[in-house]
Amino acid sequence: MAAPDIPAAKQAGLPVDLPRLERDGDGWLSPEDRYALKTWGVCTQEQPGVFMVRVRNPGGALPTPQARGLARISRSFGPDWLHLTTRQNFELHWVDARRIPALLDAVTEVGMTTRSGCGHTLRNVMCSEDAGISLDEPFDCLPDARAVSDAIVARSAELNLVLPSRINMAFGGSPRCRTDARLNDAGFVSVLRDDEPGYELWAGGSLGKAPFLAVKVADFVARLDVQAAAEALIEVFVDHGDLEKPTKGRMKFVVERLGEAAFRAAWDQAFAAARNRPHDPPPPVEVLPEADRVAILAHVPPGGWSAGVRPQRTPGLATLTVDIPLGDTNGSELELVCDLADRHGDGGINVSRDQNIVLRNVGVAAVATVRQVLATRGLFLSGEAHTASVRACTGSAVCALGITTAPDAGKALLASAGLGRNSALRVHVSGCPNSCAQHQAGDIGLAGSKVRIGGATRDGYHVYLGADIGAGRVGEVVGRVAAADVPATVEAVVGIWEAMRHEGEGMGSAVQRIGHDAFARHLESVMAERWASGPEPEVAASGGSRSVAVARVGDLAPGSVTTVDAGGTPVALANVDGSFCAVADSCPHAGASLGEGTLRGTSLECPRHGGTFDVRTGAALAGPTDEAVRCLPVTVVDGAVRVTAALPPAPAANYAGG
C-alpha cells in the first residue's frame, strides 16, 4: 500500500467521506483518504476491506455502563474481540469498511469517541490507575487529565491540520508515573508545593528507532494552569516542528534541534500567553495526607496482599488487578468484570498501562468472592496464574505496519518457567521497531524485524536489555533471534540474571553492571547458531570494498528499479532519467526488498509498508521509519553499471596462536 502524502492531506483539510465509505466500501480510498480516517481513530488493517477502530478512554477510567456498551459493540461489529492498549484505549478489529459509520455512531451513543485516536493528533491522555487512592499519589490527577484531553480534542478539526506528529501525554504521581513521564511527549508528574497540588512538567520523550527521554520543562505548574501548560507545549511544537517531514516530526526532534534551554524559553513565553486566556477552573481535589499504614495493614484480605491485591488509603479497601493476557478480551469477559465492579467496587473499571483491568474500592472481605467468580471464566488476579507479565501490540496479525505477529511471541512466553518464577519481570513485545509496546522500556524487550541468522533471513526479533528509565537508560540491542527461538532466549536471559544478580537488583541494573557484551556472549553459547549478537547489519563489512558490474545501461529503463547482486550484497538499482542510483536492498523498517518497490522520480517506495526513500541520498521521506537506507556509489564504465559494495567478511579463524 502506498504511503500517504501527509502534508498534502493536511493541506486539503483531512476530509472524510463517511457516506461514500458506507455505500461503496474502501476500494476508492486514496492513501491520503486513509490517513484522514486515522484522525477519526479508523486505521487500515493488514487485511483488505476491514479496519481497526480505536476508542479513546481518557485517563483509563470507564463507568460500567460505557464498558457494557463497548461489549455490545464488539459483538455487533466484529468478532467479539476487544484489545486493551498500553495507552489505556480499547481497540476493535475486523470492522467491515461499510459498517464504519454505524460503528462511530454507536460509540457516540455510549458517550465515547474515536476522535484523534490515530494519526498526528493528541492521542489518548493517560493517567495513573491508582490516582487518588494509592499510598504514593499526593492527589487525584484524573480530573486534570480528562480536562486537558477534552479541551484539546475539542480543537481536533483545527489542530490535526498543523500538528507535525502525534502527541502522547501522561499524568500521575507514583514512581511508575515518573518513569512514564520520561517516555511521553508531555509528562505531568503530580507533586505538592507548600501543600498546593500541581505538576512537574516533562517534554520530548519517545522511543522507537531514535529513543529520547523527556527533559524537565518546569518544576511546578499549578493545577489552575495545567491546561495552559499543555496548550503552550502544543504551540511550541506547532511553531518549531517539521510539518513537511513527518519522519522527523516528533517533539523530541524539536527539543534536540532547539536545545533544552531554548525549548524551555520558548515554552515559558507560550505559557505566559496561554495563562492570560480564559480557562475553566479545575474541580477541587483533596490533598491526601500521609497514609496511616498501621491502620491500613491491620486489614488483611483472604490470601493476603499481593501484586494483584493492593491496599488503598482507606483502611479495609483494596485495588484489584485482573490479569488480561496480552490485553485481549471479549464482550462477555468485560461484562463479567463490570458485574464485579458494580457489586463489589465503585461502579467503574480502569484500563491499566499493562493492558489489564483494575477494580477500585473493593472491600477486603469481597476479595475471595471476586477471585472465585473470575476463576469461572479462567481469569485470575495479577500474579496468581503464575504466568509471565507480557505486554504486546497486535503486530502483523492485523497491523498494516507490523513485521511479526507479536501476540504469538507473547503467548509463547506466558508459560515461561523463568518468567513464572519472577513475575515482576516485564517483557514488552513490539511487532516492529515503532515500539508500540515500548520494548526499550521493558526488563526484556523484543522488537519484530527481518533478521539474518546463520545465513538465512526470517521473521524474528531484536532483543533489548538494560532498561532503567529512572536512571535515564533505555534498553539496548544485544542480539537477534528467529521468532521460534524467543522462548529459549528469554529463559537464558532470566537464568543468567538469576545466577549473577545482587540482592534486590533488577534486570536493568544487573545488565548495566555485568555488561551487554557478557549477556550477548552467554546467549551465543546457549543458542549457538540460533543467535546473532548485535543489531542487524546493513551490509557485510570487512573494512574493504570493490566495484562490481551489476548491469548494462540498457538493461534498466528510466523510471524503473530492480534488485542486483553486487558481489554478495543485494542492492536496489534505480534508473532516474538515465542516471543510476543504488541503495541497500533491505528496507530499514521491515526488511522488504526495495528492488521490488516503485520508483517515482527520485522517490523509491517500499512494496510492503509504503516507506519512501530518496535514492540519491537514502533519506527517509515518508512511511513508518525515519531511518535512512544506505546509499552505495555507482559508476558507468564502457556501458556497464558498477556498484561499489563491501567485501564479504573473511572466514573466522578456528584456532588460536601463531
Has residue 118 been placed in a domain?
no
**Residues with Cβ within 8 Å of residue 217, at least 6 apart in sequence:** 201, 202, 203, 233, 263, 264, 267
Residue 655's pLDDT band (cuts 50, 70, 90): very low
Has residue 127 been placed in a domain?
no
Average pLDDT value for the chain: 91
Asked if residue 253 and residue 372 are part of one domain, the reply reads no
Q: Whole-model pTM?
A: 0.83
Say which residue the cell 498546593 belongs to: 196
Task: Indicate which CATH number applies to the domain containing 236.
Answer: 3.30.413.10
Q: What is the mean pLDDT of residues 497-521?
A: 94
pLDDT of 51 > 90? The answer is yes
Asked if residue 393 and residue 373 are part of one domain, the reply reads no
Has residue 284 been placed in a domain?
no
Task: Indicate which CATH number applies to the domain containing 550.
Answer: 2.102.10.10
**End-of-domain residue from the set 381, 405, 440:** 381
Asked if residue 351 and residue 297 are part of one domain, the reply reads yes
**End-of-domain residue from the set 490, 508, 533:** 533
Q: What is the mean pLDDT of residues 256-278?
A: 96
Asked if residue 449 and residue 336 are part of one domain, the reply reads no
- Percentage of the chain with pLDDT > 90? 74
Number of compact structural domains in the chain: 5
Three cell numbers written together for 336: 463479567
**Residues with Cβ within 8 Å of residue 288, at least 6 apart in sequence:** 132, 137, 138, 139, 313
Is 494 within 8 Å of 425 (Cβ atoms)? Answer: yes
Q: What is the mean pLDDT of residues 463-480?
A: 92
Q: What is the pLDDT of residues 395-425, one digit of tens each?
A: 888 887 888 999 999 999 988 999 988 888 9
Residue 538's pLDDT band (cuts 50, 70, 90): low
Three cell numbers written together for 162: 498543523
Residue 380's pLDDT band (cuts 50, 70, 90): very high
Asked if residue 640 and residue 517 are part of one domain, the reply reads no
Report helix angle 331-344 to 64-77, nearest 10.
170
Q: What is the mean pLDDT of residues 433-459?
A: 89
SS3 435: coil
Q: What is the pLDDT of residues 151-160, one digit of tens each?
A: 999 999 999 9
pLDDT at residue 649, rounded to an integer: 45
pLDDT of 355 > 50? The answer is yes
Residue 657's pLDDT band (cuts 50, 70, 90): very low
Asked if residue 164 and residue 264 are part of one domain, the reply reads yes
Residue 654's pLDDT band (cuts 50, 70, 90): very low
**End-of-domain residue from the set 381, 413, 434:** 381
pLDDT of 542 > 60? The answer is no
pLDDT at residue 86, rounded to an integer: 93
Task: Indicate which CATH number applies to the domain containing 318.
Answer: 3.90.480.20
Asked if residue 269 and residue 158 are part of one domain, the reply reads yes
Asked if residue 402 and residue 525 are part of one domain, the reply reads yes
Is 57 within 8 Å of 326 (Cβ atoms)? Answer: no
Say which residue the cell 567485501 belongs to: 647
Q: What number of CA atoms fall less than 13 Å from residue 273's CA on the CB side? A: 11
pLDDT at residue 1, rounded to an integer: 59
Has residue 286 been placed in a domain?
no
Asked if residue 406 and residue 373 are part of one domain, the reply reads no
pLDDT of 94 > 70? The answer is yes
Is 103 within 8 Å of 73 (Cβ atoms)? Answer: yes
Three cell numbers written together for 145: 487529565
Closest CA to 507 of 464, 551, 553, 543: 464
Has residue 210 been placed in a domain?
yes
Asked if residue 298 and residue 244 are part of one domain, the reply reads no
Question: Which has the higher per-residue pLDDT, 568 or 203?
Answer: 203
Has residue 130 been placed in a domain?
no
Asked if residue 506 and residue 431 are part of one domain, the reply reads yes
pLDDT of 568 > 80? The answer is no
Asked if residue 521 and residue 397 are part of one domain, the reply reads yes
pLDDT of 31 > 60? The answer is yes
Q: What number of CA atoms fall less than 13 Å from residue 48's CA on the CB side? A: 6
Q: What is the pLDDT of residues 113-131, one digit of tens each?
A: 999 999 999 999 999 999 9
Q: What is the mean pLDDT of residues 551-555?
A: 88
Q: Measure the CA–CA gap between 592 and 160, rounded to whole angstroms.
A: 31
Question: Which has the higher per-residue pLDDT, 457 or 58?
Answer: 58
Is 562 within 8 Å of 576 (Cβ atoms)? Answer: no
pLDDT at residue 590, rounded to an integer: 78
Has residue 282 been placed in a domain?
no
Has residue 348 been placed in a domain?
yes
Q: Which residues span the domain enclosing 467?
A: 389-533
Q: What is the mean pLDDT of residues 449-453?
A: 86
Three cell numbers written together for 482: 528467529
pLDDT of 541 > 70? The answer is no
Residue 617's pLDDT band (cuts 50, 70, 90): confident
Say which residue the cell 541503495 belongs to: 583
